[in-house]
Amino acid sequence: MNLAATFRSALPDVEKRGNLIRDAWDRLRVIPGGRTVFSRLVGIVAPYTGSMGARVLELREGFARVELADRRKVRNHLDCVHAVALANLAELTGNVAVAYGLPDDARFIVKAMSLEYLKKARGTITASATCPPIGDNAERELEIEVSLRDPRGVEVTRAVLLTLVGPKRR
């Protein structure tokens, strides 16, 4: 059985298991090609998000950095990165930041998202998200700030994810 099949087979039990995202990142990030493998595994968990081919570059407690290469499949008719691809990148980045910091007995879902498109997005876009420490599985809402920047470092999109954190189902 290959790694993707193993990961996919664990998905039905994700509510029962510990922190699958943190465990996978901590194991894979240190091996050559591990970040690419991790990014593809995230795409298995979230196939729509995986279809855009973003790559997780950095992930730690309270922070994530993800990049999206500018290529034809993510562009719009104005030859820049499509607004929905930017929204998807913002959500992915915020979600992996939250997921990494979750206690083993907690889960989350995005409740709302606001985006401000500041400039046309061209070139590889790098998104960075910050997340407050979570600590426990008490039900609450968190605001996750995400900034998307072009290759020159110019902020092209700003997003805020309103994320509901709570206990896993037993």
- All domains of the chain in start order, with CATH: 3-167 (3.10.129.10)
75: CB partners within 8 A, 6+ apart: 81, 82
Backbone φ, ψ for residue 111 (5° rounding) = -95, -35
Nearest to 127 by CA among 80, 94, 100: 94
Lowest mean pLDDT among 5-19, 41-55, 86-100, 153-167: 5-19
Q: What tens digit of pLDDT does each residue of 122-149 get?
A: 999 999 999 999 999 999 999 999 999 9
**Confidence (pLDDT) at 46:** 86
pTM metric for this prediction: 0.88
Nearest to 39 by CA among 101, 99, 96: 96
**Confidence (pLDDT) at 5:** 60
Mean pLDDT of the chain: 90
pLDDT at 7 over 80: no
pLDDT at 10 over 60: no
Q: What tens digit of pLDDT does each residue of 26-51 get?
A: 999 999 999 999 999 998 988 888 88
